[in-house]
Amino acid sequence: MKIATDVDRCVGAGQCVLAEPAVFDQDESDGTVVLLTDSVDGETAERVREATHICPAQALSILD
């Protein structure tokens, strides 16, 4: 599964980082999402799906 982020939409809530810290981080200067990898599978993919659903700004996308 491929993942994309829209930094312009991101509000820095950090819900993605809480859902899957191996895939998402936050920029130290403004708190926006930083993608650590753009491809995942297995259990990590399920947590990434959850992160996309709980993102308040809808700044995450799944590209499969």
For the chain, list the domains and their CATH numbers.
2-63 (3.30.70.20)
User: What is the distance between the alpha carbons of residues 40 and 48, in angstroms, rounded to a whole number?
Assistant: 8
pLDDT of residue 1: 96
pLDDT of residue 64: 75
pLDDT of residue 26: 98
8-49 per-position pLDDT tens digit: 999 999 999 999 999 999 999 999 999 999 999 999 999 999
Under 8 Å CB-to-CB from 8, ≥6 apart: which residues?
none
pLDDT of residue 39: 95
The per-residue DSSP string of 19-61 comes to H-TTTEEE-TTT--EEES-SB--HHHHHHHHHHHHH-TT--EE
Structural contact between residues 36 and 48, judged by C-beta atoms closer than 8 angstroms: no
pLDDT of residue 36: 98
